[in-house]
Structure 1
Amino acid sequence: MNHVYKITRSCKYFTRCSSNITNALADSTIFSLSSGYGKCGVSVIRVSGPRTSHALQTLVVTKEIIDKGLVLWFPAPASFTGEDSCEFQVHGSLAVVAAMLDALGKVPGLRPATAGEFTKRAFYGGKIDLTEVEGLADLIHAETEAQRKQAMLQSTGALSRVYDNWRKRLIRCAAHLEAYIDFAEEENIEDDVVLQLTKELRLIITEITVHLNDQRQGEMLRNGVRTAIVGAPNVGKSSFLNMICQREIAIVTPIAGTTRDIIESTHNFGGYPVVFADTAGLRKHTKDVVELEGISRAKECLQNSDLILLLTDARELLQNISTNEQSAQNYQSTYLQQLDLDANKLVGKRIQLIANKIDLLSSAELQKLTQIDNVLTITSKQPSADVAQPFLAHFEKLLCELCGQPTAEHPRITHARYRQQLERCIEHIQIFLNEYAPDIFPDTAISAQKLRNALKCIERITGHVSSDDILDVVFKDFCIGK
């Protein structure tokens, strides 16, 4: 039933697309290698369009055998693109693939596909909406297990169902309001129709606000948790990066201020993508021009990060807390304030205090350090499994808290443009609610336009409102065979 609905819904949208696009889709048949390039056991070559059947018949009756393989036939509309489609599964040698592509290129009416054109046809054919297209793109580029789960949920319609629900309800509200405007005096239209739709609109605002209040979990999971490693010079930041990534990424020397520029490295921790950034040591007083530039870049990196790992010397931390009777939280706040950072850019950021060089502590000092709340302990210099494993477990738990667990019941916002359009949707609804007051005789027709604007915001997310700029961005990262 859901499949039938999608086709019906898309037909209305399909008629609104430009005639140039629909005619090009209707008249051309495309082909491409859909599996990866290079030698492999099996390669898949995909064909889609009105002349697919002719292409299939042409290749299977050729006198010269190119290869022995498997052919799959997908008649319209029960295919990925909604058109007649087929797949040739042949041996994956470069010669066989080249011969197949050459043979298909000689069939009249066939041409090579452009990047993302199969998926674009599925979109214009109403098989998938724009959120599912972007979910499919994310699935292709997923590098971790958590990214795969989130992308899979989106590509199979988890976000689409949420947004389409709001879209239908906004359409209903707009229809009721316009019916009230046109027929209230002539027909038997309920007097409370406006009251009911305003209640519905406030409920929609509440639901969208909850959806927006996700701490950017979906976007962090999609793009990677930007993690800044910061601290004073010679506190062991570069050694920490090398330790946690298990390879020599950054130069380590006993000289303070070795790191001058930002060193980035992306890694997978427990299925969560992390983009580490090793930064220059932060201190207020230095006359070194290069170091000053490094500190400036470190501060910018810190303010643009999702997670801040604040490294400190374990001995210095213990001494400071004991002398000033501070908590770890107070120590952390005081340290960051001394660096002349923009406090507003740190609001809401997760900051984790890490005490490094615990190998230099006595047993009594280590015992005291472990009793301090909200402090992780580590030694970056030849860490033992007893020290490294607990730290890594805590770090993975921290990433899980930041990114959350993708679920079909509560899909996350994965793209900044979704967030922007949802915020604008709320603004338009709120303007309507603030302006529309029947007791002061407003211009109801103008107020109704606010609801139509709110609806367009949702439709820009799902692709019901065509925008070439958005489509160009969405499809630019697809490979040729997809």
Structure 2
Amino acid sequence: MRSTDTIFALSSGGLPSGVAVIRLSGPASGTAVEALCGRQPPERRASLLSIRNRNGEKLDDGLVLVFPGPNSFSGEDCAELQIHGGRATVKAVLAELATMEGLRAAEAGEFSRRAFLNGRMDLVEVEGLADLIVAETEMQRRLAAEQSSGGLSKLYDSWAKRLTHARAMIEAELDFADEDDVPGSVASAIWQDMQTLKQEILNHLSGVRAGEIVRDGLKVVIVGPPNAGKSSLLNHLARRDVAIVTEIPGTTRDVLHVDLDLDGFAVRLYDTAGLRETDDLVEQEGIRRTQRSMAEAHLVLLLSAVDNPDWAAFIEGYDGPVVRVRTKADMRDTAWPAPNADVMISVRTGDGIAELLDRVGSYLPDLDQGSALALPTRHRHADNLAAACAHIEAALAVGDRGLDIQAEHLRLAGQALGRVTGRVDVENLLDVIFSEFCIGK
């Protein structure tokens, strides 16, 4: 991957479409536009131009824009061709670009990678942009917008500045202790602030689970014995036939899932194999996958169609939150609600479904409209923030035994924060992060 290349790609998604946007970035962007259109339009102004191949054959008419660097998305000279979104038309324009010297098709995430390398975005903003593109619920959109706009980066940068200030004061005392204008001790001011900073990071880390749920969805696993109504419930909530439903036990052999939008949050429901003793090797594998899904769940819906089941027997070894659901309530003359269940439902009549969804909703994060969406959303965020916190704590624990040791711990804390935003030591992260992007972004 050579940053001197000019790259191009379809950036507007699947075809056919009403409009397709082809993006270029690199030093030959303007030259490529001139070759296709006969001239370059004025900077940052959309111009309707004919797009032709090298033989003069007209490929399409479209809006053409050029964005000189460094004030562009990638920080380089950029251009966009907004053309009709037919497959043949887009294919012809891309093929013509591929014949030009110095141009090549972009790799996944390469436009955003160049924006990072040119200082247009940091890693947190890049990751927020990736999440914004794939956001499907309102809360996912809000969380991604907070990160892609730099809200979270500003918080981390403010912490990094406080660490830098603390180190500067320590270095001043170490190097200029005999000077009259250097404080005799940094303990009262600096270490009080570092104690506060440590607590702020710990408070921030307490939002890791909430950030994970907002970004990836609340993972809800439906378990229970065969014929308890697990697949029927999944189909009812999905409003389509996702799972096969029969009276034959053991129909579900693999883990199926559907995604719901509940109060703006993503909720991922998993239908699993019925829990029972069996000699069927395929069904045994399905049960093993059920148990693995339970271990990764945020919430388990434990279903039973019989009165007074042994609930604990079905979830042995699982110690997370459970909602006990009595199913097929319309098929039996029984008390409502069942005395040993949290909720009773009937997918045939719809009774109890709203109450069940309310129960599930109670396990979603309680977020307000303010700064609550400044949340860490990835394991690498949490790991580096925890490392920064540990180094600050180590510096505080040193006490009077050595300012130089304390300064080193604060330097390491700053490095850990820098790895979150990409300020330092990030080369090994780039391929992983940008591989999440689609071509053209």
**Fold shared, TM-score > 0.5 on shorter chain:** yes
Pair 1:383-2:371 in alignment: no
| 1:144 is aligned to 2:137 | yes
Instruction: Report deviation, 1:187.
Output: 4.9
Q: Please tell me whether the aligned partners of residues 220 and 403 of structure 1 are also in contact (alpha carbons under 8 angstroms).
A: no
Residue 298 of structure 1, CA deviation: 2.5
1:335 is matched with 311
Q: Residues of 2 paired with 1:226 and 1:407: CA distance?
A: 25
**Deviation, structure 1 residue 104:** 2.9
Could you tell me how far 1:206 is from its partner in structure 2?
A: 0.8
Partners of 2:8 and 2:293 in 1: how far apart?
45
Q: Which residue of 2 aligns with 1:272?
A: 265
Checking the alignment, whether the CA contact within 8 Å between 2:113 and 2:434 is kept in structure 1 is yes
Larger helix percent: 1
1:170 to 163, 170, 175: 163
What is the rounded CA distance, in whole Å, between the counterparts of 1:67 and 1:339 in structure 2?
63
1:447 to 406, 416, 419: 406
Residue 32 (structure 1) aligns with: 9
Q: CA deviation at 1:362?
A: 4.0
Between the aligned partners of 2:369 and 2:182, the Cα distance in structure 1 is 44
Match of 1:397 in 2: 361
Aligned match of 1:310:
302
Are residues 405 and 85 of structure 1, via their aligned partners in 2, closer, same or farther at CA, if it must alter by over 3 Å? same
Q: Distance in 1 between matches of 2:159 and 2:244?
A: 53
Residue 50 of structure 1 pairs with residue 17 of structure 2: no
- Counterparts of 1:285-364 in structure 2, within 5 Å, are 286=277, 288=279, 290=281, 293-313=285-305, 315-316=307-308, 335-336=311-312, 338=313, 341-342=316-317, 346=319, 349-362=320-333
Q: Of residues 456, 467, 482 in structure 1, which corresponds to 2:426?
A: 467
Amino acid of the residue matched to residue 288 of structure 1? Answer: D
Corresponding position of 2:61: 68
> Does the Cα contact within 8 Å between 1:149 and 1:406 map onto a contact in 2?
no
Inter-CA distance 271–235: structure 2 relative to 1 (3 Å threshold): same
The residue identity in structure 1 corresponding to 2:152 is L
How far did 1:237 drift? 1.9
CA distance in 2, matches of 1:244, 1:96: 41
Name the SS for the 1:67 alignment partner: strand
| Partner residue in 1 for 2:41 | none
What SS does structure 2 have at the residue aligned with 1:474?
helix
- Partners of 1:297 and 1:39 lie apart in 2 by 39
The two structures have a TM-score, normalised by structure 2, of: 0.87
Would you say the 8 A contact 2:395–2:405 is kept in 1? no
Decide whether the 8 Å contact of 1:146 with 1:406 is kept in 2: no
Give the match for residue 323 of structure 1: none
- By how many angstroms is 1:339 displaced? 5.4
Once superposed, which parts of structure 1, at least 4 consecutive aligned residues long, lie more than 6 Å away?
none
Deviations 1:190-239, CA, capped at 9 Å, x for gaps: 12323311111111111111111126111122222221112234322222
- Rounded to whole Å, the distance in 2 between the matches of 1:56 and 1:293 is 57
Query: In the aligned structure 2, how far is the partner of 1:340 from the partner of 1:89?
Result: 56
Q: Distance in 1 between matches of 2:172 and 2:243?
A: 67
Question: Can you list the C-alpha shifts for 1:304-360, whole angstroms capped at 9, x where unaligned?
Answer: 11111122347326xxxxxxxxxxxxxxxx833x458346xx3xx332222222224
The CA distance in 1 between the partners of 2:325 and 2:306, in whole Å, is 8
Instruction: Tell me: CA distance 1:106–1:204, structure 2 relative to 1, closer, same or farther (3 Å).
Output: same
Unaligned ranges ≥5, structure 1:
1-20, 318-333
Read off the aligned partner of 1:397 and give its amino acid letter: G
Separation of aligned partners in 2, 1:78 and 1:136: 18
Partner residue, 1:13: none
1:103 Cα offset (Å): 3.3
**How far has the Cα of 1:80 moved from its partner?**
0.8
For 2:118 and 2:224, how far apart are their aligned partners in 1? 54
> Which one-letter code corresponds to 2:28 in the other structure?
R
Q: Name the SS for the 1:68 alignment partner.
A: strand
Output one character per residue of 1:87-127: Cα deviation in whole Å (capped at 9) or x when no partner: 11122223332332233334433332222111111111111
CA distance in 2, matches of 1:238, 1:114: 41
Cα distance in 2 for partners of 1:134, 1:122 equals 12
Q: Which residue, out of 225, 245, 249, partners 2:242?
A: 249
**Closer/same/farther in 2, CA of residues 135 and 287 from structure 1, 3 Å limit:** closer
Matches within 5 A, 1:68-217: 68-214=61-207, 216-217=209-210
Which residue is equivalent to 1:322? none
- 1:388 aligned partner, one-letter code: I
Structure 1's 247 and 57: CA in aligned 2 closer, same or farther, altered over 3 A? Answer: closer
Aligned residues: 424
The answer to whether the aligner puts 1:231 opposite 2:227 as a matched pair is: no
CA distance in structure 2 between the partners assigned to 1:41 and 1:247 by the alignment: 30
Q: In the aligned structure 2, how far is the partner of 1:109 from the partner of 1:253?
A: 60
